[in-house]
Structure 1
Amino acid sequence: MIKLIDSIPANPSSGKPLKGHKQGCYSLRSGDYRIIYEVYPSQELIHIIRVGHRKDIYR
């Protein structure tokens, strides 16, 4: 999981773009777990919102 999070800055748009109330966020998979994050390119910032099991992460 840590390696996947560490890989985000190299390619921030590699995650799946989310829709609905999480529009503007991305999701990365690691088995049954998901990492939800936002990218702020002008500030060179990546904000990790949640890390959790896929059954709970989108609630």
Structure 2
Amino acid sequence: MYSVYVTKSVEKTLKKLSRRDQKRIGDAISSLATNPRPNGVCKLAGENSLYRIRVGDYRIIYDIQDKKLTVLVIRIGLRGEIYRELWKL
């Protein structure tokens, strides 16, 4: 079982979303504890350990650290915006 951590920026983004989207994304994040590489997961090109999953129009970007059994959720956002923001990091 993996431990799932969420950054403060992800928490802020979640609070701005509708209740329905918060629940769907929250459920997807929680499920990463049991299976950090679910069906439909994509590894991001050019990154060693960053992955993304789709939840409706939203994307969840996260880092898997297998040696520590942790998953760190880095970003949540709409498809058109998330990748532009991610490369600014």
Instruction: Give the corresponding residue for 1:36.
Output: 61
- 1:7-57 per-position Cα deviation (integer Å, ceiling 9, x unaligned): 01211122211102x342110101110000000011111111100111100
Find out whether 1:6 has 2:30 as its counterpart. yes
Runs of 4+ in 1 over 3 A off after TM superposition: none
The count of corresponding residues between Structure 1 and Structure 2 is: 58
Find out whether 1:57 has 2:82 as its counterpart. yes
Alignment RMSD: 1.1
Q: Equivalents in 2 of 1:54, 1:48: separation in Å?
A: 16
Q: Equivalents in 2 of 1:27, 1:9: separation in Å?
A: 15
Structure number with the higher helix fraction is: 2
SS in 2 for 1:13: coil
Structure 2's unaligned 5+ residue stretches are 1-24, 85-89
Structure 1's unaligned 5+ residue stretches are none
Identity value in percent: 38
Instruction: Give the corresponding residue for 2:42.
Output: 16
Higher RCO (CA 8 Å, separation ≥ 6 residues): 2
SS in 1 for 2:32: helix
Instruction: Give the corresponding residue for 2:72.
Output: 47
SS in 2 for 1:11: coil
